[in-house]
Structure formats: structure tokens, C-alpha cells
Structure 1
């Protein structure tokens, strides 16, 4: 039996073996090709009139929406894509709610220096965390975010050469082999868990506020009205994120308790339930240190 088990392990493709190891840590993953793109093509690619599908059809080929930490499902995905040479780790999913800070190497842009400058300007430090080295000389920093906040993907918005992988995005996992080389965990970080994203950095990653034409009277003067407008302007998929951002700012500026009810009312107006809205405000209160830890 031992011989059979050893042979089975040896027969496991390297990409699948690394993906299974990531899944053991609770990370949801998908197979990738040598181009770093999802290895499985969309089952709807020949039907441009097909309704938008995120995997509801039950077939693989929906990119990050196929991501799973279940070993059996993972083996099935790799069996359907035997050419896969790597795997992608979906961001924003439980239990880690991963946020990837991609420090790229581009001519004329020192992303490491840019992150250091941001940290000095906004008074945060990156705690010890998992770091993945890319074939081009870049680095991926793994951080975790609050479960009720969707950090958007962005490219260069934070600073030149710094890309963010959030909800709906993915990171190339260590051990993946691409056309340009192999991704590897930086020495001394493989045993670490993804660190909590510093509050000041998290606020930088969320969308900036936009004005709204009208708001009801609110505490906190013009600043309070602006935060409520920001929440009222939320579209579907932004509601929790905008409410969290506004609540964090309100508690930081000392008007959180007075602004709680207007913020909750505004969030309910956009489509959140009162229970969801109050939970998000409570999360902001805890994150800013104005309430008990979760």
C-alpha cells in the first residue's frame, strides 16, 4: 500500500500538487496556463448572446468564479485542464479575504520606494506576511481584509507600479510555472499567515467619495453630509464598501456615534438591510479602535 501511495503522489502534476497545498490552507484556487490566464476557456465563448454567467450553469471555465478549496473539485478542474502549469489564488474570499499588493518592476517606477513613501505619509507599516517573488523581480504581499468589505482591483491607482488584487481578482500562487519563470515564496515567509491589512492602507485601497445631489440634514456639518452622500451614491456591489469607508472616516473624525443612524438610513436606502448596515458600521468602529475588537 505504501508503494501505491508513493506512486500516486509522484504521479500528481506539480501545479496540482502546489494548488492542493494552497487549498489545505483554506485558499480557493483555479488552474492557470503558462500565460497566467485561467487555463479553462469559457463554455459560453461561442455564444455571444448568452446571459452573463458566473458558474451558475455548473460547467467550469468561469475564471475566478471556479475557485475552490475542495480537493475533489480541484482535481476535476486540473483534470479538465491537463496543460495547466500553475494556479491562481482567488482574493476576497473567506476565510482569509485575501488582498494582494503587487509590487511590479517597471522602467521608471520604483514600486517598493513608492509603498515606503505611502507608509511614511499615512503612518502605517506592513507587518510580517507571506511574500511571493515573481519571475520578473517583483513581489506579491499577501494581506487580509475585513469580511464585509470588498476591496476593488486596481492598477497603478495607489502609486505607479503598485497593483491591487481584491474581490474578483487572483494572485499567481507560489510554485506556478509561467512562460517567464517560476513564482516562489520569499525565504522566511512560507510559514507565515497573511497579515491583517493596516487600517490606513485599507482606507487608501477603497474608492474615494463622490458627491451626491441631495442628502437629509445630518450631524457633523458639511463633512457629515458628504459622508452620507457618499453612501447614497453607492451602486450594487459598492454598498458595503462605501458604507464601511464612510463609517471609518466618521469614527476617525469623532462624529461616528452621531452619524451612525444617518449612515444606516442611507445604506438601507441603497438596498442593504438594516442588519447588514449596522454590522458594517460596527466593523468600522472596531477597526478604528472606537469599539470592542471582534
Structure 2
């Protein structure tokens, strides 16, 4: 069946209307997964931004501004699809009220061989996400999960309205992309040139889970802490982090040290506390060289997020 036939387009509209009814702003997508409607400014020469949206950002009132067209209004959704009868899927805008959706895209280089259950053949990037969860002490929540044609996974999470999550590619780990404000996720029920997107078994009744706070700190740039020039670190500052490392048991020493060092650097006391954290880790049984390497990794990670 050709992906551009009327039945596929009608199904895409039906799925898009259902998503819009649940508060997810949607746009029609072409079989290439790109916004289906061309920019009304494509003849203006240079008036289109890199993301495909015209620089007027929709102020002209015409459709064709990419994710900026996304809407939850049923009449507007129907009008967008009527203007793009070749659409075979729909995109869901991330970062928009009321859900402030965050997409965690677990990519895979080869197609999955089975499709039983929510994570039947998890991509390697899911293992990388599990490693991040272990290192940063958060749990991957049960949430809406979409299986991509290649066997990858899209995990849907919600974020707080006062934090803007940017889009990123493989910044968390290889194969893990993040869709935040200004980005979109291909909705389940969409058909593309590569195949269909569908909800993972057992997740259809889920609602997007809140993004774990520790994961949110990794994907959203934190506000720069204000450190007055005359501020001095009190001798007692950071002792809770030191005790946290001292209390580590075998199998959790490196994880606790990394977490404590990240918190220290995020609060501007990382370099001051580095030696104390090293001594605490050594006392807990970690080799000094490994302890200092872990602290250096925490310093690099938090520096990249500023």
C-alpha cells in the first residue's frame, strides 16, 4: 500500500485529532517525517530559518511554519490536513502547554527482530539510559512509549512549565536524543517512508510521566548560580556531601561520589570540596586515582551544562 493513499491520510488525521483532544498540539507530517506544509515564504530567498520555519514565526497568519503551526483546535487541525492531503502522519509539539512534553528518543542502528512487550528488543541506547539512571540516582518511569520503524523508542515525559528543555542529539549519551521546546515527536499511528510508528504493548493506557528531577538537570541547562565576589565558602558547607560519600558501600562508591561531586560543582564549591570528597571516597574503599577521575568527570559534565 502506498504511504500517500487516502486511507493512510485519513487515519493520520484521525490520530492527530485524538491527540489534540488530549491536549497535545499537532501538525501534519509528510512521509519523510518533515512538516507537510511548505513555508509560505519559500520564494522570499533567505527568509527561512534553519529549522524550516519562516522567520516571521507565523505572524503572517499563513500555515507552513513548521512546529509553530501546531494546534489543539480541532477545526484548525482539520484545516492543516486539508491543506496537506499528502500528509501520512502527525507531529506532536514538545514543550507546549498543557503537558510541556519532553521526548527521549532512544535510537537504534538496526531494526528490531521482535515486537512483544514495551521493551521487547531494547536498543543499546536504552542500556545507556539505564546507566545514566544508575549514576544519577533516578528511576526510568513507566510512561507512554512509542516504537519507531527502526525499533527505537520514544519515551514521553512531562516537564515543569517554568523550565525550557532544549533539543539535543547524543549529548546525554550516544543514540539518545532529546526533543524539547521547538521540537516535535512523530505521533503513534503515523506512517512514514520507513514504516509505521505505534504504541508499545502495555503502554497505551499510560499518561506521560513527570521527568525525574535528576534527568531534568541533565537535559535542561540550570540557571547560573549567583556568587557575589565577596562570598566565601564556610568550612561546614558541603559536609553533607562528604558524609554521603563516606557512607557508601561496595558497589555504590563511585556512583555516590559522582553524584556528590556534581552537586558540589553545581553549587560552586566543587574545587573547594574536591580533596575532601577524594579522602572520603578513599576511606570508603575507592582507589584515589579512580576517585579523582570521577570528580574530574563530574566537573566536566556540570561545566558543559552552564
Q: TM-score, normalised by structure 1?
A: 0.68
Give 1:157's aligned residue: 171
Number of the residue aligned with 1:181: 195
Alpha-carbon distance in structure 2 between the residues aligned to 1:163 and 1:195 = 18
- Decide whether aligned partners of structure 1 residues 195 and 206 sit closer, same or farther in structure 2, where only a CA change above 3 A counts: same
**Matched residue pairs, number?**
217
**Counterpart of 1:200 in 2: which secondary structure?**
helix
**Hey, what does 2:96 align to over in structure 1?**
93
In the other structure, the counterpart of 2:138 is 124
Query: 4+ residue stretches of structure 1 with deviation over 4 A?
Result: 208-212, 252-255
- Cross-structure match for 1:45: 42
**Residue 128 of structure 1: CA displacement?**
1.0
Matched, 1:77 2:80: yes
Deviations along 1:181-204, one digit per CA (max 9) or x if unpaired, are 100001111111100000000000
Structure-2 residue corresponding to 1:67: 70
Q: Shift of residue 218 of structure 1?
A: 6.0
Pair 43,220 (structure 1): closer, same or farther in 2 beyond 3 Å: farther
Where does structure 2 lack aligned partners over 5 or more consecutive residues?
A: 1-6, 48-53, 111-122, 235-262, 270-306
What are the superposed Cα offsets for residues 236-282 of structure 1, whole Å, 9 maximum, x if unpaired? xxxxxxxxxxxxx69x9699xxxxxxxxxxxxxxxxxxxxxxxxxxx
Indicate if the aligned counterparts of 2:9 and 2:88 stay in contact, CA closer than 8 A.
Answer: no
Give distance in 1, aligned partners of 2:203 and 2:231: 46
Counterparts in 2 of 1:208 and 1:106: CA distance versus 1, 3 Å: farther
> How far 1:11 moved relative to its partner?
11
Structure exhibiting the larger radius of gyration computed from Cα positions: 2
Q: Does 1:58 align with 2:55?
A: no
- The answer on whether the counterparts of 2:9 and 2:85 sit within 8 Å (CA) in structure 1 is no
The answer for unaligned runs of 5 or more in structure 1 is 1-9, 223-248, 256-294
- In the alignment, is residue 200 of structure 1 matched against residue 214 of structure 2? yes
How far 1:126 moved relative to its partner?
1.3
TM superposition shift of 1:216: 3.7
Note closer, same or farther for the CA distance 1:91–1:218 as it changes in structure 2 (3 Å cut).
farther
Q: Is the 8 A contact 2:91 2:184 kept in 1?
A: yes
1:78–1:200: structure 2 CA closer, same or farther, 3 Å change rule?
same
Cα deviations across residues 82-123 of structure 1 (Å, max 9, x unaligned)? Answer: 00000000000011000000000037x820110010000000
TM-score normalised per structure 2: 0.65
When the two chains are superposed, the root-mean-square deviation of aligned CA atoms in Å is 2.9
Q: Secondary structure at the match of 1:117?
A: helix
